[in-house]
Structure 1
């Protein structure tokens, strides 16, 4: 007996079995509700009130843009950008023991050949 003939003649039965008939709810409540994990358990008064209080990398309210808050002072007024004591911006500023090691010719050859040069 050929396996392909047996597979073609087999009737496909789904692995998932649903209990009961399909039923679509007649009405779904789409009214806004607070999230179950909300710390306050209440909805904000309005979206505008929420945006006025929300913070994401700074204030989200439009009032901060209209009053000239953003860009009103020069960048030098924000302070120095030099790293603090014990902090480094680049690996080359670290002590020599933390620098990257140079590649050897054997390692370069192994990478370029996909490792085949190590077996030959």
Structure 2
């Protein structure tokens, strides 16, 4: 995490460009260490992965446990990839919970109340 003013650096006599953020290995790194943009970006990627499973989730021949396993295997890893070291603040935690609820609603094809379901991920897991 950078603190204070960002200064330019020289490497082999050449000035290295200073940027506020960049993507490294699929994860957005910011100068101030804020992860909120990365979590939002990952949730959008997860939403896209979930909508790509639309025809499978609408198929009545596939059982609900199989659909949940597919979501755990194909959607949640997209969301949590690269976020192991992110500090999750309360607003981001709410977004993640809302995303999980949205995934389950899409799977069940019915709106859910937050109190009706148990979380799919264990409480000890970090995103």
TM range (shorter): under 0.3
Task: Answer 1 or 2: which has greater strand percent.
Answer: 2
Task: Answer 1 or 2: which has greater helix percent.
Answer: 2
Between 1 and 2, higher relative CO (CA 8 Å, sep ≥ 6) is seen in 2
What's the TM-score once normalised by structure 2's chain length? 0.19
